[in-house]
C-alpha cells in the first residue's frame, strides 16, 4: 500500500512541475533543475519546508480541494513572500472560484518575477479579460509575444481581443503576424474577411475570399461563402461572373446554382434565373423548403408569358423529385392558381391533402376554387372531408352550408348553418355571416318569422353587414312589412355604398312599396349609371309607369325584355300597356 501511494505522489510531483516554470533552487546532485524560485535567501531547511508545502498545494489543487490547496500555498508565501509559483497558484485558485479581483494581483506578481513564463501571462490576460479590462489584456498578450519565445499561436487570441474592441487595424496586424509565422491558413483568411466587412472594405473582403478559394480549390464551401457575400452586398454582376467561373469546377453543386439564380433574379434576368434552377430542383439532396421558398418568390410575378412555362417545368420537376411531399404539390397548385389555371391548381391541392390533410390553408384554397368553378357538389364533398380534420372550424360549415343554399337545398343548408354557428359565436363577423345565411334560407322556405329573427341576430352581431341589410330590407319590402325599418336599413346601404347598383335598386324598391315613386325613380336612375341589369331596368319602367310616364315605361320594359330569360310578364306589360306586379 505504501509503495502505491509513494508512486502516485511521485507522478503527481512530476506532472505538477512539468506544467509550470519555477525559478531554480540551489542545484544539488541528482535533483531536478526545476524548483521554486529562490527569490529570498532561505536556509536549506526552510527551502525544504517550502518545497513540502508547495507539493502539498499541488496535490490538493489536482484533487480540486481548493481550500486545502490555498492553505498550503499560503504557507509557502509565509516562508517565501516573493515565491512567483505560489502567487501563480493562488491566482489560479481565485480565478477558478470566480474571484478575479483577488486573482489579479497574484497573477501580476508572478509575471513580474518570472517574465519568461507564458503561463503567468496567460493567467493575467485571462483575469483581465474576465474583469472586462480588454485593453490591459491586449497589452499583456503583446508583452508575452515580445518577451516569451514560442508563443506565436497567441496572435490569434490577441487578434480576437482587438477585434472585440473594434481595433480592426490592430487585429489585422496580429492576424498578419500569425500568417507570417504559420503561413496561409483558412482561419486567418476568414477572420480577415470579417474585419474588412466591419470596416466596410468589401473589395478587400472579396479579395481575401478569392485567395481562400484559390488556396482550397476543392472545398466548395469557400466559393459558396464568397458568392453569398457578394449577393448580400448587392454585387450581383460580380457574383454572376464569379459563380459562372466555378459551376464547371463544382459540378452539380445545388447551392451554387441557387446563388446563380439569385444573381440573375436581382438583375431582373428572370428567365435565366429560372432556367438555372433545373439542377437544384432535380436534386433529391437539396432541402425542399429551400426550393419552395425560391419558387414562391416568383408567384407574385405571374401570370407572365415569359415565365409561365419555365416555372411549370420547375414545378413538375419539384413534384417528380418529391412525389410524397404535400408541400411540393401545394406549391405547384399555387403556381397553377397564379397563372389562372384554376382547375389544374385545384387538382394539385386535392393531391396535397390526400397525402397530408393537416394544412388548413390548402383546404380553404380547395373550397374557394370549388366555389369559383361553381362546383357546389365539390364544395360539399371537400367541406365534409376537411371537417374530419378540423371539426371546430366554422368556415368549413359556412362553405358547406352556402353550397347547399346555392343548390336550393334549404333544409340541409339550415342544418349545416345551425351546426356551425356554435363555432362562430365568438367571432362577430362570422356569427353575423351564419345568421345572414340562415335568414336567406328560411326566407326561401317561406318561414318569415325565423328568417326575420335570423336577420336580427345577424345585425346584432354586426350592424353594418351589408348583405343582410340588403336582403332583409328587400324581403320586407316585398311583403310590405315594417317598411319604415326597411327604409332605414336601405338608406344606410346607399349612404355607405353610393355606387352599388344592387343596393340602389333595393332602396328604390323600398321607396316604391312606400309609394314614393319619385324617390324610386331617382335611385333607379342612379343604379342604371353603374351596373344596369334587367331587373333594375324593369323596376325603373315600373316607377315611370306609376308616375304616368307610360311611353317611357314601355321603352324600359322592352330593354329589360332583351336581357331577361323569362319574358312572360314583360311581354304582357308591353302588350297591355299595363302594370303587372
Mean pLDDT by 10 residues, the chain (581 residues): 32 33 34 40 90 95 95 95 95 96 96 95 97 96 96 96 96 96 92 94 95 92 95 96 93 90 95 93 89 91 92 93 95 95 97 97 97 98 97 97 98 98 95 98 97 98 97 96 97 96 96 96 95 93 95 94 92 91 74
User: How many Å apart are CA 66 and CA 60, to the nearest integer?
Assistant: 7
CB 577 within 8 A of CB 550: yes
Task: Fill in the DSSP letter of residue 460.
Answer: H
User: What is the CA angle 535-538-543, rounded to 5?
Assistant: 125
Rounded to whole angstroms, the maximal C-alpha distance in the chain is: 144
Q: For residue 16, which of 51, 67, 53, 58 has the smallest C-alpha distance? A: 58
Give the model's pLDDT for residue 39.
45
Task: Fill in the DSSP letter of residue 358.
Answer: T
Q: For residue 518, which of 495, 497, 546 has the smallest C-alpha distance? A: 546
What is the grid cell recorded at 320?
Answer: 417528380
User: How many Å apart are CA 376 and CA 407, to the nearest integer?
Assistant: 7
User: How many Å apart are CA 310 and CA 313, to the nearest integer?
Assistant: 5
**How many domains, the chain?**
2
How many other C-beta atoms can be found within 10 angstroms of the C-beta atom of residue 113?
18
How many other C-beta atoms can be found within 10 angstroms of the C-beta atom of residue 463?
13
Angle between helices 534-546 and 517-530 (to 10 degrees): 150
480: CB partners within 8 A, 6+ apart: 513
Last residue of a domain, one of 150, 176, 193: 150
Q: What are phi and psi of 385, to 5 degrees?
A: -65, -45
Domain range for 502: 486-581
**Looking at the domain assignment, is residue 232 inside a domain?**
no
What is the grid cell recorded at 374?
Answer: 361553381
Give the model's pLDDT for residue 129.
96
Q: For the domain that residue 554 is a member of, what is the CATH number? A: 1.25.40.10
CA 435, chain centre distance (Å)? 38
User: What is the CA angle 463-468-470, rounded to 5?
Assistant: 110
User: How many Å apart are CA 279 and CA 78, to the nearest integer?
Assistant: 76
**Looking at the domain assignment, is residue 23 inside a domain?**
no
**Looking at the domain assignment, is residue 310 inside a domain?**
no
Alpha-helical segments (H) within 27-99: 44-62, 66-79, 84-96
Last residue of a domain, one of 117, 150, 183: 150
CB 431 within 8 A of CB 398: no
**Looking at the domain assignment, is residue 370 inside a domain?**
no
102 upstream amide cis, omega within 30 of 0: no
User: How many Å apart are CA 480 and CA 514, to the nearest integer?
Assistant: 8
**Which SS3 state, helix, strand or coil, does residue 509 take?**
helix
Give the model's pLDDT for residue 40.
61
User: How many Å apart are CA 5 and CA 243, to the nearest integer?
Assistant: 66
Last residue of a domain, one of 125, 150, 175: 150
CB 462 within 8 A of CB 478: no
**Looking at the domain assignment, is residue 570 inside a domain?**
yes
Amino acid at each position: 500500500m505504501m509503495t502505491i501511494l509513494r508512486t502516485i505522489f511521485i507522478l503527481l510531483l512530476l506532472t505538477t512541475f512539468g506544467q509550470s516554470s519555477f525559478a531554480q533552487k540551489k542545484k544539488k546532485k541528482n535533483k531536478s533543475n526545476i524548483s521554486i524560485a529562490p527569490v529570498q535567501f532561505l536556509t536549506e531547511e526552510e527551502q525544504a519546508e517550502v518545497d513540502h508545502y508547495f507539493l502539498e498545494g499541488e496535490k490538493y489543487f489536482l484533487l480540486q480541494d481548493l481550500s486545502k490547496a490555498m492553505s498550503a500555498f499560503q504557507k509557502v508565501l509565509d516562508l517565501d513572500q516573493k515565491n512567483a509559483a505560489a502567487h501563480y497558484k493562488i491566482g489560479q485558485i481565485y480565478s477558478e472560484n470566480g474571484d478575479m479581483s483577488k486573482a489579479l494581483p497574484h497573477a501580476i506578481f508572478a509575471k513580474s518575477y518570472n517574465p519568461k513564463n507564458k503561463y503567468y501571462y496567460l493567467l493575467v490576460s485571462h483575469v483581465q479579460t474576465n474583469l472586462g479590462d480588454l485593453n490591459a489584456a491586449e497589452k499583456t498578450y503583446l508583452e508575452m509575444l515580445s518577451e516569451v519565445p514560442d508563443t506565436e499561436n497567441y496572435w490569434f487570441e490577441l487578434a480576437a481581443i482587438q477585434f472585440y474592441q473594434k481595433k480592426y487595424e490592430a487585429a489585422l496586424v496580429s492576424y498578419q503576424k500569425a500568417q507570417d509565422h504559420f503561413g496561409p491558413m483558412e482561419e486567418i483568411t476568414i477572420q480577415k474577411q470579417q474585419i474588412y466587412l466591419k470596416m466596410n472594405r468589401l473589395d478587400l473582403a472579396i479579395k481575401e475570399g478569392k485567395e481562400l478559394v484559390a488556396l482550397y480549390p476543392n472545398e466548395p464551401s469557400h466559393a459558396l461563402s464568397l458568392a453569398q457575400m457578394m449577393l448580400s452586398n448587392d454585387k450581383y454582376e460580380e457574383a454572376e461572373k464569379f459563380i459562372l467561373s466555378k459551376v464547371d469546377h463544382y459540378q452539380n453543386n445545388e447551392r451554387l446554382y441557387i446563388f446563380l439564380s439569385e444573381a440573375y433574379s436581382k438583375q431582373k434576368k428572370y428567365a435565366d434565373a429560372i432556367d438555372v434552377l433545373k439542377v437544384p430542383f432535380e436534386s433529391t439532396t437539396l432541402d425542399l423548403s429551400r426550393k419552395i421558398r425560391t419558387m414562391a418568390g416568383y408567384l407574385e410575378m405571374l401570370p407572365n408569358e415569359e415565365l409561365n412555362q419555365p416555372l411549370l417545368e420547375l414545378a413538375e420537376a419539384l413534384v417528380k423529385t418529391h412525389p410524397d411531399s404535400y408541400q411540393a404539390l401545394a406549391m405547384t397548385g399555387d403556381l397553377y392558381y397564379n397563372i389562372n389555371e384554376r382547375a389544374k391548381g385545384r387538382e394539385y391541392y386535392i393531391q396535397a391533402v390526400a397525402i397530408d390533410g393537416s394544412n388548413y390553408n390548402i383546404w380553404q384554397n380547395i373550397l374557394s376554387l370549388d366555389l369559383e368553378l361553381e362546383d357546389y357538389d365539390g364544395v360539399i364533398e371537400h367541406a365534409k372531408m376537411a371537417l374530419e380534420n378540423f371539426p371546430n372550424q366554422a368556415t368549413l360549415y359556412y362553405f358547406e352550408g352556402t353550397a347547399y343554399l346555392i343548390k336550393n337545398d334549404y333544409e340541409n343548408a339550415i342544418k349545416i348553418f345551425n351546426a356551425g354557428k356554435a363555432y362562430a359565436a365568438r367571432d362577430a363577423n362570422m356569427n353575423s355571416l351564419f345568421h345572414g345565411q340562415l335568414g336567406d334560407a328560411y326566407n326561401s322556405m317561406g318561414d318569415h318569422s325565423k328568417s326575420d329573427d335570423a336577420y336580427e341576430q345577424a345585425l346584432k352581431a354586426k350592424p353594418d353587414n351589408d348583405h343582410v341589410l340588403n336582403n332583409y330590407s328587400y324581403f320586407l319590402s316585398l311583403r310590405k312589412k315594417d317598411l319604415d325599418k326597411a327604409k332605414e336599413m336601405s338608406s344606410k346601404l346607399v349612404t355607405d355604398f353610393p355606387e352599388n347598383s344592387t343596393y340602389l335598386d333595393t332602396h328604390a324598391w323600398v321607396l316604391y312599396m312606400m309609394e314614393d315613386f319619385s324617390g324610386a325613380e331617382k335611385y333607379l336612375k342612379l343604379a342604371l349609371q353603374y351596373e344596369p341589369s334587367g331587373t333594375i331596368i324593369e323596376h325603373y319602367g315600373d316607377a315611370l309607369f306609376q308616375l304616368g310616364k307610360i311611353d317611357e315605361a314601355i321603352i324600359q320594359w322592352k330593354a329589360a325584355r332583351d336581357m331577361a330569360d323569362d319574358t312572360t310578364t314583360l311581354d304582357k306589360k308591353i302588350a297591355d300597356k299595363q302594370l303587372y306586379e
